[in-house]
């Protein structure tokens, strides 16, 4: 198992980023990083687990114990970016009352994929000047025909001339 741990201090909080596999063999990397983060004295520690895979409950148990210790000192630890699999493991291990997550324990992943740009999902229509609309053909952008006056009919927008390819 390999776990990369980065501690990133900021004025009002410290972010601990976990990347890779988290489990019992990686606790010697995780626990000192959490201790270092707490040593900065901020009121909040944010643990980014978006790129971590929890192989067993031991790393989550360590985070829960650390969270309880922070709460007893009037500070807080919260997990952000936890995918659905991590949220299920938090529930299955009974740690939901000890860990603060950035969303509900059930349901879909809290991080939604970026929407596609219009050019990624809809065809671009090449238009020869003076051609009737029924002769328009969908062509991928960047594969224009050589010739003066070639234009692209934008989706719901104006016709824009293409640059000539060399």
**CB-CB contact of 44 with 76 (8 Å):** yes
CA diameter of the chain: 76
pLDDT at 123: 46
pTM: 0.63
Residues 104-154: pLDDT tens digits? 666 555 555 455 444 444 444 444 455 555 554 444 444 444 444 433 344
Q: Out of 51-55, 61-65, 76-80, 159-163, which region has the weakest mean confidence (pLDDT)?
A: 159-163
Superfamily of domain 3-93: STAS domain (3.30.750.24)
Given a cut of 70, whether residue 93 has pLDDT beyond it is yes
| H or E segment and range at residue 80 | strand 76-80
52, β-bridge pairs: 20
Q: What is the mean pLDDT of residues 8-19?
A: 92
pLDDT at 42: 92
C-alpha to C-alpha distance for 92 and 57, rounded to whole angstroms:
9
Q: Out of 32-46, 49-63, 71-85, 124-138, which region has the weakest mean confidence (pLDDT)?
A: 124-138
pLDDT at 105: 62
Domain regions of the chain by residue span: 3-93
In this structure, the number of other CB atoms found within 10 A of the CB of residue 147 comes to 10
């Amino acid at each position: 198992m390999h776990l990369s741990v980065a501690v990133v201090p900021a004025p009002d909080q410290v972010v601990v980023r976990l990347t890779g596999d988290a489990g019992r063999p990686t606790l010697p990397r995780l626990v000192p990083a959490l201790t270092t983060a707490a040593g900065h004295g901020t009121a909040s520690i944010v643990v980014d687990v978006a790129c971590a895979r929890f192989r067993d409950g031991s790393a989550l148990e360590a985070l829960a114990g650390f969270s309880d210790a922070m709460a007893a000192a009037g500070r807080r630890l919260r997990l952000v970016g936890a995918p659905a699999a991590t949220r299920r493991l938090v529930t299955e291990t009974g740690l939901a009352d000890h860990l603060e997550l950035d969303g509900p324990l059930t349901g879909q992943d809290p991080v939604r994929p970026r929407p596609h740009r219009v050019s990624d999902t809809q065809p671009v229509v090449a238009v020869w000047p003076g051609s009737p609309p029924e002769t328009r053909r969908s062509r991928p952008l960047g594969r224009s025909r050589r010739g003066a006056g070639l234009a692209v009919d934008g989706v719901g927008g104006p016709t824009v001339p293409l640059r000539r390819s060399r």
